[in-house]
Chain A
Amino acid sequence: MKMNAKEITTQISNSANILNIEKWDYGASFSNDYSVQVDKGKAKQLKASQKQVLTLRVWNKKNLVGITTTSDLSEKGITRALQQACIASEFGNKNEVIDFSPLSKNPIKVKEIEKQNPLGIKKLLTILRRAESKLIDSHESIKSIPYNGLSESFYERTYANSDGAFRNYSKSQAAIYLYARAEEKNKKPRSAGSVKLGYGIEDIDIESCIEEASKKTIAHLNYSSIKTGKYLVCLSPDAFLTMINAFSSIFNARSIIDGLSLSSKDSIGEMISIPALNIYDDGLNDKNISSAPFDGEGTPTKKLSLINKGKLENFLHSESTAKIFNTKPTGHAGLGSKVSVSPDWLVVERSNDCSELNMTLEHIEYKGEFVYIEELNAIHAGVRASQGSFSLPFDGWHYINGEKSSIESATVAGDIKYLLKNIINIEKKEELTTSGISPHVWINQLSVTGDE
């Protein structure tokens, strides 16, 4: 399927004229996705999809906004969507005036990445079969790879409005995930995995995905329970980013307006962490495979400092939240009846104000007792973002005197404000994950519940 965004824009414009709608904008996405799953060498499910989604907003004579989403891009479908949006606009939010983003016509940088061609299902299948086989062969205890998949996706996104803004980009993306299950006699099964992303299958380091999944799974075979108590905790880059993303309402202007954030409008400048912590949102980072040059309202994506030397420096904004806060949109809006705001891709780093850190704490070398949290699970269930609390199961290790043993089953609980203020080391080396970049981060005295 090939998208013709200009044609859709013309179609919307013509239909809007007939319906006497003067002001409108839309976001559209078109995608072709291919994915495979295997089960012990056999193809399990092979999947292909072509999808088109159009979200249309219209402004009525009272300047109230209505919206409709549809997959029907025929002339009839577009006209119906405009009509429904008009009906919805009668119920538009009178308390929040929504407009086009003032930056929707500003120049954007579209990263020049050579789009890769589809390899096709057969080749995907061959690659995944080989990967599955290699992972099973890597250790006698690995009996199956119950969760696996290899996919490639080709998509195009557009934003346009009746004021002449028109933005469009297309890209390709590929992903592999391998979650192995290992089992030894008289022991509980253990599972771990790895995910890798690329612009195309050829970019993905499949060997490292296999190796990582194998190493992690085998490492967890020798497990033991942990005693409930307070521990020195080292969060892996992935775990720390998961935690920050889960509490990103701290930086989110929409959440602040809605009373769902721990921050208030006046929180900018507050010390919310130790001075050694910097956090940016950097959607355009070269390492971000999913980068988008503009957000749902057409605002250009940009790098934004969120925490600078421990101080809350900026909030994430859409057009309407920026207006309320008397600032400019930041490129983090998602088009909807109620425009959402969310971070793109977080980068965590140690600031140059790091005198408070205990730099002897390096997870590779430290010989004292600590809990290493590799991956946090069940975020949707265990995080109370509006209260600041969390209670999350995790995969990890208990280290004592340089010896590590996998933790059978445990949860870590605490409070995000406490966590940010009780960071005692931010390791120097930053690591790339699928959701951002971060070093290992050490926290003093977090509650861990184990089976003892």
Chain B
Amino acid sequence: MVTSSIKSPEIKFGECNKLLLEELIFYGISLGADFVELFIENSDNSSVLAEQDFITSVSPSFGKGAGIRIFKDKRDGFVSTNDLSKQGLMRSISQAIEMLDISKETNYSEFNGLNKLKDYGKSKIDWLKEVPTINEVSEKLLLSTKSLKKNNKVTVRKGSYSRNWQEVIIASSDGTYVTDIRLHQTVGLNVITNDSQHRSNGSRRFGSHGVPNEFRLWDHEKAANEVCESSMNMLYADYVQAGQMPVVLANKFGGVIFHEACGHLLETTQIERGTTPFSDKLNEKIAHESVTAIDEGLSEGSFGSLSIDDEGMEPEKSILIKDGILKKFISDRAGELRTGHKRTGSGRRQNYSFAAASRMRNTYIAKGKYTKDDLITSISDGLYCKSMGGGSVGATGQFNFAVEEGYLIKNGKLTKPVKGATLIGDAKEVMPKISMCGNDLELAPGFCGSVSGSINVTVGQPHIKVDSITVGGR
């Protein structure tokens, strides 16, 4: 109904909602729930697109909503709604209770009220006022698309900016009562270069969390140079010849392969589904001894960092793999309940309309001792993947990734650029083949789409060498 969400009392952002939240949680518990969690969100987003030398799109959006999760035994029911009135939220709780077929007689849990509010957003209250205005964003994006105009072969130039501001209230029947403010900003540059029948793309994305001023400091000239150089290098490239070969994957966004091919398999959601080959491999060797991998939510300003996860827990630094040995899984509340792996502050969701799930934050392979040159010179015939495109992992763990910018390695030296390469394999087979890690770890922002929607993450690694992998081509 049009007027349904304006009836009071209702959740108010920036005010104390303790009594109302306690009443709602008690209502759920009294109906027989083991556990009740409320995730309430207020968002204010904006995006701007510059094409060639004009602003072609400015899209603000805002909204409010709640996600309510009820646990009974190991089952959970989730209801999302835009109706933040007490009546609307109680209706949603009843709906979740009904879905789980809970009767009052089976209720053994207690609710002793919410803890004192932990306000993680207190110091962030002015972030929304401090971010660049649409005017500032537009001017800088136009400067960046102008910088992409390197020569007449660059035919398409695009710059995009998006800002997501989110205020959350999380309350649950274990006493958790927290609020937080999150701010993510991202900017991307894309070009297409053309010369007769030759065509190539170039793109880069930059992003940060919790740094309102970040976009103002962004070096658009340097970014534009990188994007154009990449696209021009690939313009006349031949198609790569398919086959098995050693490869060197560049640092920064090269880490997307570890994220997709191995990281997801270390999430407890995969253990629950029975789709990870690593579920019974804790404290066993799953990777080459040169590999140590980390997932954390703590690096200041990184795109995947957070003060609290979407279940109200502070994030921890999780060493997933230490010298090739599997040490930990990435876990959330449901994961702990169903698999026994302790929560790691990794319960994440796109927004209120998704239930939280175990998801990665800033995930990377730790630096090793080699230089990039050490890795390249160790290969007589292989491929250097300087820039990776997107990829995916199938239900049985096979992955494939497009190489956006690749070069052949011949006799320990980089030679000609090649296009059309795809890296194909599965984590179980590839992880033991990462034989050398460089000393140049760098991180890159990205978006990860999975069971609880699209979330902000960081991927990363130093340069790494994979001894042998299938390279798809023509």
Contacts and interface: CB of A to CB of B under 8 A. Distances in A.
Given A46-B75, A49-B353, A387-B200, A381 B392 contact: yes
Contacts of B65: 71
A11 interface: yes
B79 interface: yes
Interface in A86-125: 87-88, 91-96, 121-122
Interface string A41-83: 0111111111110000000000000111111111110001100
Contacts of B333: none
8 contacts: A47-B355, A50-B81, A88-B59, A259-B192, A338-B57, A382-B422, A413-B422, A449-B242
B54 A48 contact: no
3 nearest A-B residue pairs (beta carbon): A71-B63, A381-B390, A411-B472
Given A88-B134, A447-B242, A409 B62 contact: no
Interface string A27-52: 00000000000010011111111111
Contact of B99 (A72, A93, A121, A447): A121
Given A73-B5, A147-B273, A413-B473, A67 B59 contact: yes
Interface in A370-412: 377-378, 380-382, 384, 386-389, 391, 393, 409-411
Contact of B274 (A1, A143, A338): A143
B473 A449 contact: yes
A326 interface: no
Contacts of B470: 409, 449, 451
Interface in B41-69: 48-49, 51, 54-65
A361 to B, nearest CB: 23
Given A72-B5, A147-B395, A228-B242, A411 B400 contact: yes
A76 B474 contact: no
A387 B199 contact: yes
Interface stretch (A167-175, A185-193, A267-275): A185-193
Contacts of A73: 2, 5, 82
B1 A74 contact: no
B78 interface: yes
A284 to B, nearest CB: 29
Interface in A298-326: none
Interface of B: 1-6, 48-49, 51, 54-65, 74-83, 92, 95-96, 98-101, 134, 138, 155-156, 192, 199-201, 239, 242-244, 272-275, 353, 355, 389-392, 394-398, 400-402, 419-422, 424, 426, 470-474
Given A87-B60, A181-B396, A449 B424 contact: yes
Interface of A: 1-2, 4, 7-8, 11, 39, 42-52, 66-76, 80-81, 84-85, 87-88, 91-96, 121-122, 143-144, 146-147, 179, 181, 188-191, 228, 258-260, 336-338, 377-378, 380-382, 384, 386-389, 391, 393, 409-411, 413-414, 447, 449, 451
Contacts of B80: 47-51
Contacts of A50: 80-83
A146 B422 contact: no
A378 B396 CA distance: 14
Contacts of A52: 82
A47 B61 CA distance: 25
> Which of B65, B92, B274: most chain A Cβ within 10 A?
B274
B83 A4 contact: no
B169 to A, nearest CB: 16
A146 B5 contact: no
A384 B201 contact: yes
Main secondary structure of the interface of B (DSSP, over half): strand
> Which of A2, A8, A382: most chain B Cβ within 10 A?
A382
B134 A47 contact: no
A144 B274 contact: yes
Nearest to B73: A42
Nearest to B133: A87
A87 B137 CA distance: 14
B75 A44 contact: yes
Nearest to A390: B420
A7 B2 contact: yes
Nearest to B403: A391
Contacts of B56: 93, 95-96, 338
A391 B473 contact: yes
Contacts of A88: 58-60, 134
A4 B199 contact: no
A366 B270 CA distance: 41
A391 B98 contact: no
Contact of A43 (B100, B242, B243, B391): B100
B136 to A, nearest CB: 12
A447 B473 contact: yes
> Which of B54, B101, B472: most chain A Cβ within 10 A?
B472
A46 B155 contact: no
A380 B389 CA distance: 9
Contacts of A260: 156, 192
Given A48-B95, A380-B390, A74 B155 contact: no
A336 B58 CA distance: 9
Contact of A447 (B2, B200, B474): B474
Nearest to A48: B79
Nearest to B74: A42
A122 B419 CA distance: 52
Contacts of A67: 58-60
Given A188-B396, A386-B199, A45 B57 contact: no
A49 B78 CA distance: 8
B27 to A, nearest CB: 17
A68 B60 CA distance: 5
